[in-house]
Amino acid sequence: MFERACVIVALFLGAPAAPAAGFVMRDDLDRSVALAQYPQRIVTLLPSLTETICALGACGRLVATDRYSDWPPQVRALPKAGGIDDAEVELIVSVRPDLVLISRSQRITGRLTDLGLVSFALNTDSYPEIAHTVTVIGDILGLPERAKRLNESIGEAVHAISARAIARRHGHVPTVYFEVDGPPYAAGPSSYIGELLGLLGARNIVGADLGPFPSLNPEYVVRHDPDVIFVSPSEVAHVADRPGWDRIRAIREHRVCSFTPAVRDTVVRPGPRVAEGMQAIADCLAQVAP
Amino acid sequence: MSTLRHAVADLGAGRFEYTASRRLGTWLLCCVGVTVLLTAISLLIGTTSIEDSLKWLLSPDAQSSVVLWQIRLPRTVGAWFAGALLGLAGAVAQGVFRNPLAEPYLLGTASGAALGVTICLMAADASVGGLALTGQIGVTGAACIGACAATLLTVTLSRGVLQTASLLLSGIVTAFLLSAVTSLLLLTKPEVWREMQTFLLGTTSFISWSSALLLGIVLCICIVPAVLLSRGLDALTLGEDTAQSLGLSLPWLRLTLLGVVALATSTSVGQVGIVGFVGLVAPHLVRETLSVNHRQLLIAAPLCGGALLQAADLVSRWIIRPAELPVGAVTACVGGSYLVFLLWRRSRDG
């Protein structure tokens, strides 16, 4: 499904010790990034990248993260280098990183290069890209074996949750509407959340042709009358007040799910905690789905 | 001879007034006709094909009745009222400020409403207590409170409503200040950004009958004092000194009319978000096609604004159905193009 985007040039790929001649890897912006050694002072500018590094047991190499990185708890004490669109270059420079991990959509790359900092861009928008990110970061850190084991454990956990969820329903496929933001941005089948719903054997009422996060006409949801609706906690109390929505089966029969912010992070962040997020969705479906 | 000349002049003026009022009557009738037509079309436009919608109309079932009468119709009626409020607010603002570029959001109402909604969404996201509080106020209530607070701030900064320039400047300062605070808050909570975007670009998606009723009541409340004070606006066009020499109480007139602008704008923003250009363009469209005084303008501009937003709503739900465009993006495209056309025509005519 996906391909490793990196090309490792150096020797000693599997060894955690620094390679003698350094190594070059290709990032998701298709740039060749040269690293003199396995980085020891890393700045991450995306929560899923922070989580991946920590899941590989290299949390100690982080010297700063973006302000939204809050898991595992020990990263909360690290200096915060701004957000996705307003990264604080000055702070990044001040912590003297030997690598800055960013997402492909961040525009800070050029500025970091001008300042002589090494940055590496990764695309993490989908479920398959989680494994890709884990593998690449494992290679960058010199921990490919741990990355392999992490990918295996993620894959097994996801497979087990998926199999249990499908088996529990005895062939019934619930129709689902997942509102990522109101009003009403839906998670389409091509979004990360849509992929998780698909793995759980639920049928998304949003068509794949509408893109990952379409802004739907609310009557679309009324017409498709889903079995289960996912909304944000602030919308749970109001969702029945939307014009015509009190006639939707899921709302009439109180089959509306929402997640606390902490659980929601696991659901919306394509990272190593994918199984946790998937389990949260599966639990809700198990509780309320007909 | 002189008497005869006056008589002829009076006759000419009378004929002109008769022709003008006939043109206005025809124009208003056309506007009402367009509104009725758009309302009928709105029942056919949604996530289904027009043929399916026609079938629904002819033989409705439980679900189609909900879609037609609880979603599509209140939505289009509410869009009309919201557009009418913006058209009225725009016409009054242009009269009070004696500036054709004045618009309903000039007093900082849009920025205030945006800040109110941001705080509401952030509170809902932050804690259970915040969620309970915002559950009671709602996004609509937060927008209204923010808009009213911004208007008060503008009036306070300009130390009253007497100085036009000071009021304009205060409005701009308030708008910038509150926008900056909103941006800073959003930076710390990107989760609410997409929801805010919906509000900032305007949406008619969730207008219910109760929303439409509220918009309609506020339109009635606003249009009465505005029309009653229209002669004051006519006098203001001659200058503030002249208006005062005619016995007008300028502070009272301005305060009342700015109250109308604030109430109309905050209600509209609360229900449909920030919809740009309707309040600016509707009065211009009327003036471009008719020669009107303020009383006529204050009746025609709401009709025009209502039809404009109704049409924009139809476009927003039609183009990429079953998804939809933000209605404010549609009005901005159409309104912006119209203003460019006006500028081009003026530069061509010298």
Query: What pLDDT score does A105 carry?
Result: 77
The proportion of chain B whose per-residue pLDDT surpasses 90, expressed as a percent, equals 40
Question: Among A219, A222, A284, A287, which residue's Cα sits nearest to residue A252?
Answer: A222
> Least CB-CB distance to A185: which of B46, B48, B194?
B194
Tens digit of pLDDT for each residue in A104-121? 877 788 888 889 999 999
Least confident of A7-21, A55-69, B206-220, B320-334: A7-21
Query: What pLDDT score does A163 carry?
Result: 94
> Least CB-CB distance to B322: which of A180, A216, A242?
A216
Query: What pLDDT score does A4 carry?
Result: 41
> Least CB-CB distance to A217: which of B205, B208, B209?
B205
- ipTM exceeding 0.90, yes/no: no
CA dihedral of A148, A150, A154, A157, whole degrees rounded to 10: 110
Which residue in chain B has the smallest CA separation from A237? Answer: B135
Highest mean pLDDT among A138-152, B122-136, B163-177 belongs to A138-152
Question: Among B90, B138, B88, B80, which residue's Cα sits nearest to residue B113?
Answer: B138
- Whether B206 and B139 have beta carbons less than 8 Å apart is answered as no
Tens digit of pLDDT for each residue in B87-114? 999 999 999 888 888 888 888 888 998 8
A211: region left, alpha or beta (phi > 0 left; psi from -120 to 50 alpha): left
Unique residue bearing structure tokens 């606390």: A260
Give the pLDDT band of residue A128 (cuts 50, 70, 90).
very high
* A41 interfaces chain B, CB cutoff of 8 Å: no
CA dihedral of B58, B59, B60, B64, whole degrees rounded to 10: -80
Q: Per-residue pLDDT for B72 more than 50? A: yes
* A90 interfaces chain B, CB cutoff of 8 Å: no
* A238 interfaces chain B, CB cutoff of 8 Å: yes
Q: How far apart are CA A101 and CA A90, in angstroms?
A: 16
In sequence order, what are the residues at sequence separation of 6 or more whose Cβ sits closer than 8 angstroms to the Cβ of residue A119?
A: A33, A99, A100, A101, A102, A108, A109, A112, A113
Tens digit of pLDDT for each residue in A2-56? 334 433 433 333 345 556 568 899 998 889 999 889 999 999 999 999 999 999 9
Which residues, in sequence order, are bridge partners of residue A229? A177, A256
* B43 interfaces chain A, CB cutoff of 8 Å: no
Amino acid at B65: S
Which residue in chain A has the smallest CA separation from B203? Answer: A183
Structure tokens that stand for A83 in this block = 């957000």
Query: What pLDDT score does B299 carry?
Result: 93
- Whether B280 and B339 have beta carbons less than 8 Å apart is answered as yes
CB pairs under 8 A between A and B: 94
Least confident of A91-105, B248-262, B305-319: B248-262
* B78 interfaces chain A, CB cutoff of 8 Å: no
- CB < 8 Å to A233, chain B: 124, 131
Q: How far apart are CA B107 and CA B93, in angstroms?
A: 9
Interface contact flag, B323 A217, Cβ < 8 Å? yes
> What is the mean pLDDT of the segment spanning B258-279?
90
> Least CB-CB distance to B190: which of A84, A216, A219?
A84
Taking the model in full, what pTM does it have? Answer: 0.82
- CB < 8 Å to B134, chain A: 234
For residue B130, the distance in angstroms to the closest alpha carbon of chain A comes to: 9
For residue B159, the distance in angstroms to the closest alpha carbon of chain A comes to: 37
Least confident of A235-249, B60-74, B134-148, B171-185: B134-148
Interface contact flag, B138 A238, Cβ < 8 Å? yes
Residue B36: DSSP 8-state = H
* B46 interfaces chain A, CB cutoff of 8 Å: yes
Query: What pLDDT score does B128 carry?
Result: 59
Interface contact flag, A215 B323, Cβ < 8 Å? yes
Interface contact flag, B47 A84, Cβ < 8 Å? no
* A152 interfaces chain B, CB cutoff of 8 Å: no
- CB < 8 Å to A211, chain B: 323
Interface contact flag, B66 A214, Cβ < 8 Å? no
Interface contact flag, B206 A243, Cβ < 8 Å? yes
Comparing B207 with A181, the larger pLDDT belongs to B207
Which residue in chain A has the smallest CA separation from B323? Answer: A216
Which residue in chain A has the smallest CA separation from B316? Answer: A217
Instruction: Provide the terminal-to-terminal Cα distance of chain B, rounded to the nearest Å.
Output: 40
For residue B191, the distance in angstroms to the closest alpha carbon of chain A comes to: 9
Q: What are the helix (H) ranges across B158-277? A: 164-188, 193-201, 209-228, 230-236, 240-245, 250-272
Which residue in chain A has the smallest CA separation from B47? Answer: A220
Instruction: Provide the terminal-to-terminal Cα distance of chain A, rounded to the nearest Å.
Output: 33
Query: What pLDDT score does B244 carry?
Result: 80
Which residues, in sequence order, are bridge partners of residue A62? A42
- CB < 8 Å to B191, chain A: 261
For residue B205, the distance in angstroms to the closest alpha carbon of chain A comes to: 6
Query: What pLDDT score does B134 carry?
Result: 61
> What is the mean pLDDT of the segment spanning B61-78?
92
- CB < 8 Å to B326, chain A: 215
> What is the mean pLDDT of the segment spanning A114-136?
92
Q: Per-residue pLDDT for B284 more than 80? A: yes
- CB < 8 Å to A83, chain B: 187, 190
Least confident of A203-207, B305-309, B330-334: B330-334
Which residue in chain A has the smallest CA separation from B183? Answer: A86
DSSP, collapsed to helix, strand or coil, labels residue B323 as: strand
Buried b (16+ CB within 10 A) or exposed e, B153-192: bbbebbeebeebeebbebbeebbebbbeebeebbeebebb
Query: What pLDDT score does B255 carry?
Result: 87
